Amino acid sequence: MPLITKEDYKMKVEYKIKFEIPKDYDPSEILRKLPSPISPKITEIYNYSVEPYGFYFLDNLVDQKVAGHAMKIFIDECFKYSRIVKIQKI
């Protein structure tokens, strides 16, 4: 019987980062600012998508420093266009 390790129980955390996204929004600038989403162990640290409400962000709980930095970049981007940013944990 295989052993179950602590790594087997890692969970993921998903967020909706909502703001008034401009109709002509071009995410290319923000995408160049993001840290690599792949860890040295070839594990996905975070993932994201641009959505009609703003950004979807997935933290795979692999590297909190990298994921936190990426999330901050997304939040800062929202504040460039909107005075109100809502972060919803889903």
Separation of alpha carbons 44 and 53, rounded Å: 24
Tell me what pLDDT residue 11 has. 86
pLDDT in tens, 2-61: 565 655 566 899 999 999 999 999 999 999 999 999 999 999 999 999 999 999 999 999
How many H-runs (helices) and E-runs (strands) does the chain carry?
2, 4
DSSP-assigned states of every residue in 43-78: -B-EEEEEETTEEEEEE-SS-HHHHHHHHHHHHHHH
Tell me what pLDDT residue 26 has. 95
Q: How far is CA 78 from CA 35, 40, 51, 86, in A?
A: 18, 29, 12, 10
Judging by beta carbons within 10 Å of its beta carbon (0-12, 13-18, 19+), is residue 27 exposed, middle or buried? middle
